[in-house]
Amino acid sequence: MDEEKILTPAHEDYVKAIYMLYSRGVEVTNSALANQLKVAPASATNMVKKLSDLGLVTYEPYQSIALTPAGELVALEVLRHHRLLELYLHDKLNLPWEMVHEEAERLEHVLSEALEDAIAAALGNPTVDPHGDPIPTKDGKVESVAGLALSLAELKHPYTIVRVLLQDAERLIYLGAMQLYPNATVTVLKRAPFDGPLLIEVDGEHHALAHDLAECIIVK
């Protein structure tokens, strides 16, 4: 019934990328996938066909790509590894939040079930990673994080950051310098027109925040 598992890191990264695109509401085209993974379009076509043979994605030439239930389970398992690792590296080994993504990107593929469990236990079975991204459960459930983008927040009203939708190290360092971490309290004081920057207050300090960055900060 359940298929053999001979998935390489490449398989896992493709499946995860398909899941990420899909969950972000992007249509999963061959080029979107190739772009996400920084590979040539031909490489993506090639791997998608293999994943189709493995029963992990549905694929018809020239159609957009989707995960099968089996594929989604694989994606969620890898994502669970990734986010557990990010949180562990951040909380227990004190790596800064801008470093954990890259590190977890490699470690996620070599985690045994036993080590996954040990890490989850050591963290007290957490539900979100250092960026506020939800950690899938072992049986493949993810809770969606409720909230709105800081760019849409009401003025002069304190909000709590629940998630930061970025992995780029440079930008995370920049946000970190302003203490814009999950659980921080932030207030939008002014909003410039034409999608201009926001004047915000965090930790008693005022900062100007670009609109595209504010869109990545989810608050409640």
Partner DNA sequence: ACCGCGGAATAGGCATGGCTAAATCTTAAC
Partner DNA sequence: GTTAAGATTTAGCCATGCCTATTCCGCGGT
Q: Which of 18, 19, 21, 30 binds DNA (CB under 7 A)?
A: 30
Minimum distance of its own copies from residue 110's CB (angstroms): 4
Angle at CA of residue 85, ends 81 and 91, nearest 5°? 150
The separation between the first and the last C-alpha atoms of the chain, rounded to the nearest angstrom, is: 43
Q: Which of 21, 48, 76, 135 binds DNA (CB under 7 A)?
A: 48
Is residue 93 part of the contact set for its own copies (CB under 8 A)?
Answer: yes
Q: How far is CA 141 from the centre of its chain?
A: 15
Partner in contact with 158, chosen from Mn ion, its own copies, DNA, none, beta carbon below 5 to 8 Å by kind: none
Measured from the CB atom, is 127 or 187 closer to Mn ion? 127
Partner in contact with 211, chosen from its own copies, Mn ion, DNA, none, beta carbon below 5 to 8 Å by kind: none
Partner in contact with 131, chosen from its own copies, Mn ion, DNA, none, beta carbon below 5 to 8 Å by kind: Mn ion
Q: Which 49-68 positions form the footprint of DNA (CB under 7 A)?
A: 49-50, 59, 61-64
C-beta separation of 75 from 67 below 8 A: yes
Q: Which of 23, 26, 42, 206 binds DNA (CB under 7 A)?
A: 42
Is residue 138 part of the contact set for its own copies (CB under 8 A)?
Answer: no
C-beta separation of 51 from 59 below 8 A: yes
Q: Which of 47, 74, 79, 214 binds DNA (CB under 7 A)?
A: 47
Q: Any bridge partners for residue 85, and if so which?
A: none
Give the footprint of DNA on this chain (CB under 7 A). 8-11, 13, 29-32, 38-50, 59, 61-64
